[in-house]
Amino acid sequence: MAQRMALSTNYAIAYAVKNCDVDVIAAYPITPQTTVVERLSEFVANGELDAEYIPVESEHSALSAVIGASAAGARVFTATASQGLALMHEVLFMASGMRLPIVMSIANRTLSMPLNIHNDHQDMMSSRDCGWIQIYISSAQEAHDTVIQAYRLAERLDILLPVCVCYDGYVLSHTYEPVEVRDKQKVLEYTPRVERPHVLDPDKPITMGVMALPNYTYEFKYQVVDALKRVPKALEEVDAEFADKFGVKYGLYEEYMCSDADVIMIALGAIASTARLAIDNLRSKGFRIGLFRPRLYRPIPVELWKSVLRKAKMLAIVDRAIAFGGCGGPLFSDVATMFINDSERPLMINFIAGIGGRDVTVRDLEQMGLMAFKSLEEGLKEQCIYFGVRGVDYGL
């Protein structure tokens, strides 16, 4: 039976993993992810989930162990954040290169130094282009449902790619919300076990994780590129099937008051939820502003994004990560690139905000909106603004 419970996003994810009947979990503690694997260990300990729980000695081994388990045909899960994700970095490419349908949740947290356990997206952005499907969510319910969708998506034989479900550490990971925990039977009907053709099996021996020389490596890599191209349509289908089964649909992105907007604000994850209020406040003052929240961020469904964004005069892109020495934040660079060859395109302004868990309030987002309007009227003085950092005055 579906059950309505008060759950943090971490717990909402643990319940989803349980109801997907995973076979192997590898877990290593790291704040603010830890309560996901704590709750999963309870499920295994009290028999609610029949799985092997591998308490590994590092995140590097966590991903390595689920790679081994997935290669042997099991449904697997792991979770991490921040330094843990950074420690996994080399293995991330191996998981996607080996086309293993691993699901991992990431409670986004900044990277040291200085050491800080709070939220920004620096961890994920530093592992952004590693062949994983990346979905950013903005509520506990969405996290729960997205994990279920992630198995369905990852295990599709036309996809076979790992998925990470990203959510802001603490802001979402530790915030309790009412969550409809989906019925296990229905979950398993929605995402049944899939027999994959290529797994480690003595009855059909294969060699996995091969070495390739320059004559083949490029084609291996391109197959990942090609599989990623199929993801937007596949996720739309997976999302539609989810809606049929559970009555909720998330789409590949969320748009709010974009159709007539002069300025569209773009933000991932929790900031987007706060931004809705800022949009309402600015709208009530007569500013035509909208909000665009990407859900599927890797791969970017470029044409879909552009179909919404191209109507605006100005895009205000809020990045919760720094691309040190680059041309702006990672999200900004992506959006700028997709318009680069268009003769008519919106102006773009980039706000770096919320670094190391610094609060991004409704008022902050209103101010960013106003700065975007001012730049639209008076011309763009600064393309990339480190919003709210002490000691820097942009005169805006």
DSSP state of 351: E
Shortest reach from residue 96's CB to another protein, in Å: 12
- Choice between 114 and 209, CB closer to another protein: 209
Report the nearest approach of another protein to the CB of residue 63 (Å): 8
Q: Which is nearer to another protein, 215 or 341 (CB)?
A: 215
DSSP class per residue in 143-195: HHHHHHHHHHHHT-TTT---EEEEEETTTTTT-EEEEEEPPHHHHHHHS----
| Residues engaged in binding another protein (CB under 8 A) | 23-24, 26, 50-52, 54-58, 60-62, 64-74, 76, 90-91, 94, 98, 193, 200-202, 205-213, 216, 220
CA distances from 114 to 118, 125, 126, 145 (A): 11, 18, 16, 34
Show the beta-strand stretches assigned E in 50-162: 52-54, 76-80, 103-108, 133-136
Quote the CA–CA distance of 23 and 8 in Å, as a whole number.
Answer: 24
Q: How far is the CB of 373 from another protein (least distance, A)?
A: 50
Distance of CA 283 to the CA centre of its chain: 29
Shortest separation between residue 123's beta carbon and another protein, angstroms: 20
Residue nearer to another protein on the CB measure, 97 or 251: 97
CB of 87 to another protein, least distance (A): 11
State which residue, 212 or 240, has the beta carbon closest to another protein: 212
Residue with the two structure tokens 């909106």: 369
When the beta carbons of 210 and 392 are compared against another protein, the nearer one is 210
Encoded amino acid at 139, one letter: S
Pairing of strands 296-298, 133-136: antiparallel
Q: Which helix (H) or strand (E) holds 256?
A: strand 253-256
Query: By C-beta, is 95 or 355 nearer to another protein?
Result: 95
Q: How far is the CB of 154 from another protein (least distance, A)?
A: 16
CA distance 365 to 266: 11
Q: How far is the CB of 78 from another protein (least distance, A)?
A: 10
Closest CB to another protein among 65 and 150? Answer: 65
- Give CA–CA dist 362/147, Å, rounded: 29
What is the spatial distance between Cα 286 and Cα 265, in angstroms, rounded to a whole number? 16
Q: What is the 3-state secondary structure (H, E, C) of 261-324?
A: CCEEEECCCHHHHHHHHHHHHHHHCCCCEEEEEECEEECCCHHHHHHHHCCCCEEEEEECCCCC
CB-neighbour burial class of residue 116 (10 A; exposed 0-12, middle 13-18, buried 19+): middle
CA–CA separation, 188 and 245 (whole Å): 11
User: Minimum Å distance from CB 99 to another protein?
Assistant: 13
Task: Rank residues 176 and 216 by Cβ distance to another protein and give the closer one.
Answer: 216
Give 300's contacts (C-beta < 8 A, 6+ positions apart).
294, 334, 338
Q: Which is nearer to another protein, 202 or 395 (CB)?
A: 202
Q: How far is the CB of 48 from another protein (least distance, A)?
A: 14
